[in-house]
Structure formats: C-alpha cells, structure tokens
Amino acid sequence: MKKLLKRKVIIPVLLCAVFLTTSAFKNDFFEIAKQIEIFTTLFKEINMNYVDDTNPGELMDTAIKSMLADLDPYTNFMNEQDVEAARINNTGDYTGIGAKVKTLKDKLVIIEPYKDYPADKAGLKAGDEIIKVGNTSILDYKDDAGNLLKGTAGSQVEVTFNRQGKTQTTTIKRAEVEIKAVPHFSMVNDKTGYIVLSAFSRKAHAETNYALRDLKAQGAKRIILDLRGNPGGLVNEAINIVNLFVPKGQLVVTTKSKVEKYNKTYYTQNDPIDTEIPLVILIDGKSASASEIVSGALQDLDRAVIVGSRSFGKGLVQRPKELTYGTQVKITISRYYTPSGRCIQALDYWHRNENGEAVRVKQENYNEFKTKNGRKVFDGGGVFPDVLIGSYKTSPITSAIVNNDLVFNYATNYHYKHKIKDINNLKLNDNDFKDFKNYLKTNNFTFETDTEKALKKAFEVAKKEELNDNIQTDYNTLISNLNKSKSTVIDENKNYLLNKITEEIVKQYAYREGLYEYYKIHDNEIKKATEILGNLSTYSGYLN
C-alpha cells in the first residue's frame, strides 16, 4: 500500500516537470501545480475511503467531462474508441458492414445501408432491428453492441433481425468501407454541374477536384457546390477546395490564438482549376466549421453567390493532443477569420447567461466588414447567404420528433405500405401529414416543454403549501391549453416535417444516391441556384 501511495503522490511532481517545459503555462505554473496536487490527493482519498466501492475510471471520466463542459462543446476528451471514430471521420475508411447503425438498449437499428456494401448485399434494409449477432443477444451484451458488427475484411457474421414484426437471419461478409467526401456529382442540366461535398475528410479536395474536372469535361459551364449539412473537418482541405476556384497566393483564412505558434495565415498554394466559372454555394444551419471557411472565403472574395439559410456559426479551430494509453484531448486552440477579417462564431461560451448557457451574439453587436468588391458582410452569426431561402425555424417539439426517430420509423412503415414506381414523382400532401400526426398519437409521442416543467414544479410547491385546492382548475386549464399549443406548433412546422419524411422515404427506396437525384428535380435551393446561374447579369449583380 505504501508503494502505491508513493506512486500516486509522485504524479503531481511529474506533471509539474512537464508543465515547466511549456512556455504557455509559465505564468500560471504555481497555480496549475497546486490545483493538480489538490485534485490528486482528493481523488486518492475518495477512492480509498468512500463508504461504498467506487469506480476510479468512471469518477475520472465524470471529472474530466465536467471540467471541459465549462469551456466549449468542441474541447473534448477522447478515449480509444473516440480516437478511432475520429480517424474514420478524417480518412473515410474503415472495415465493417457498410451501414449507418443506431445502438439501442436491446437492438441495433439499421438507419441507412450503403449501396453495394456488405449490409446491402446481405439484404438488410433501413429499419431492420438486429437483435442477435452470432450467438450474442444485444439485450444481454453489456458493452457497446455496435462493436459486434466490426471485424476484419472478409470475415463473416450471422445476424438475426426483426423486419416489420417478422424475425429473419442473414450472413454478412465484412469488407473495407469507403465513405466518400463527395457522395454525388452530376449535371443538373446541359450546362450546370452539381457537386455534393458532405465532409472535409482527407479525400475532400481530391474528390472535389475530380468531380469539377469531370463535370467540366461533360460540358458544365457553371457549378453548384452543395455544403448543406456538412459539419466541417480538416482546415487544409477547405483551403485547397477554395484554391480550386481562386488563384495561387490568395489569403483564405487566418487563425489567432493566445499561443504564438497557433497564429497562422493560410494562402492558396496551387494553381486553380477555374477562376472564372460561375459558382453558387448552398449552405444551411448545419453547414459548420470548414464549410464556413469555404463559403465565407468565397463570399469575401466575391467568387461565389451563397444561397440557402444562415450557417451554424463555428469560428473555432481544434487540434488533437495525444495523452497516455491511446487517449487524446481535442482542444480549441484558436479562432479563425475569413479574408475580410470576420470571425463568424455565433455562440459566446465565455460569457454565459445565469443558467450557464452559451448565448448567441446579438445582432446589434455584429461588426461590419467589406468583401473584395465592397459588399457588406458581418461577423458573429455564421455566414449569411446572399440569397436567403429554405430557412426553417424549428422548435424543440419538432426536434424531439426527429430525434426520437418518429420521422424515420414513419418513413419505414410508408416504404413497406406503398409501392412507388417512380420515386422522383413522390410528393406528400395534407392527407399524409394528417396520417403522420395520427402516427404520433398512436405511438404515444409526448414532449414536456420547459413551460410545463415550470408549471408542474409550481403546482407541486402549491400542494406542499396546501394551496392547490383553489388553483387546481386553473392549472388543468393551462396544461390543456399548452397541449393545444403544442399541436399548433406541429402544424406550423408541417413543411419542415414533410420534407424530412420525404427525404427518409426516398433514401429507403433509392439509397442516398437517389436522394440527390430527387433533389435535382424538387429542391428549392437547387432550383434557385440554377436560376441564378442561368442569367449572368443576375449572377454578377449579387457579386457587385
């Protein structure tokens, strides 16, 4: 025991030695060393003396997460599994069954099988519920059941699954899976090319480069680059993609940090593909980080017209730092600034409200900047499109409907109930929306608003104070009116919900590739982009 204690006590000393070599910590060295020693002795005493058995790993995990939660949501501790997930995200390669899978307590749900990959070849479809992998029941498996589907390329695994109430089995032969950064590119019409860039992995520039060259060879005289839903990724890939459309030596992004070595200015390094081809970029509220570097830089340089809704507003840069035992910490090291000098960070994590929540930068606090041609652009709230279209103001209720898989499950049932010859002709109507609302009722969808929580809390206090007799009727009326208001909110979000349902249905009929073909016919943003590109004077008018 004495030997163990000596090892634990020496940890702060070793850590102090590490900090001595890091110039960024010199000024705070004593305070950092002091706090580490306090924490180490606290951790030792808790684990040795607490009345019940403790799990040191779980305690440390909670401590780390609680500490980082006070910073920003992008500064994260990553265990070995997280590190592997980050590698897959950056490279786009892994070995598995080739499907997006959701892990639940008693089953693995196939959310989206990738076309021509193992899960698809084995006959699995969206909505299939895997209940057993080999001889292992998902319900009885205590660790992450998703790992049961992993294995070396060429190995086989038998799965038992439920589909629409029937139990079936199939054998999946695992394989190398490539997640494309550019999952789709094609011609919208005889002169307009369309490129979907879904992630800024290490293949993003190479695949976008290939798509652009291929479309130009097919006769494309103008390009739509779709960054909607793209959460970002590697900064260098974003810079190289901007470089496809602007000359060598052009400023793209600047990063600023309290650590001198992270203050960098990034310029394009290569010869471009085409500096003149008319370009429209599509963004939405889920376009973030590297997507905003590309759209923000090309907007500042007056090189593209931005169409869609305001982007997410992530103006922070992270870098992973290796820790011990295969773990890492991803740290926010700097803010980035577009060529005009603006930082588009939308949430202020350093001046929170009384509830400890990050607040959005107020519009009156936005600063004005100028593009290359003198157009006004602003910081503080993401990238604002030149043409605003397709913006949905979702509510917590509609988000709960989507997050609880009710849209996905309804689409799955629709898929099995309807036989559609040409999915590109699918158009849901009021009767479909009515059917969806009935589906919510039959599946007991409930959502407790913050207002309801506050009322219930107040009513509980009233009961303790024996005041509830006089307010019971009023309370019941308020709750009834709130339920009516929630129904109204769902109706107000009809178009948003129908669009989400339509997307899921199309994917289940024609995979993700079919969804992009559907977009080219029905999507309002693509229609608007095509219209703008079809008239050069209109296009130039937005840039000048």
User: What positions carry a catalytic annotation?
Assistant: 289, 314
The count of other CB atoms within 10 Å of the CB of residue 178 is: 14
Question: Please, which residues have CB within 8 angstroms of residue 523's CB and are 6 or more apart in sequence?
Answer: none
CB atoms within 10 A of CB 150: 15
Report the b/e string of 5-29 with b at 16+ CB within 10 A.
eeeeeeebeeebeebeeeeeeeeee
Please answer whether residues 204 and 182 qualify as being in contact, where contact means their C-beta atoms are separated by less than 8 angstroms: yes
CA–CA gap between residue 248 and residue 267 (Å, rounded): 8
Six token digits for residue 271: 């010869």
The one-letter amino acid at 172:
I
Residues 218 and 276: beta-carbon distance below 8 Å: no
Q: How many beta carbons lie within 10 A of that of residue 199, not counting itself?
A: 23
Judge whether 517 and 423 are in contact, CB under 8 Å: no
Spell out the long-range contacts of 365-369 with Cβ–Cβ below 8 A and sequence spacing 24 or more. 367/342, 369/300, 369/340, 369/341, 369/342
Q: Where are the beta strands (DSSP E) in 310-445?
A: 316-322, 328-337, 347-348, 359-360, 368-370, 376-378, 387-388
Non-local CB neighbours of 495 within 8 Å, separated by 6+ positions:
392
Q: Report the candidate in 55, 67, 88 with the shortest Cα–Cα distance to residue 179.
A: 88
Q: Which DSSP category does 278 fall into?
A: -
In 10 A of CB 195, how many CB atoms?
A: 21
The owner of tokens 């308020």 is: 478
Question: What does residue 273 show for φ and ψ, rounded to 5 degrees?
Answer: -85, -45
For residues 273 and 212, the answer to whether their CB atoms sit within 8 Å is yes
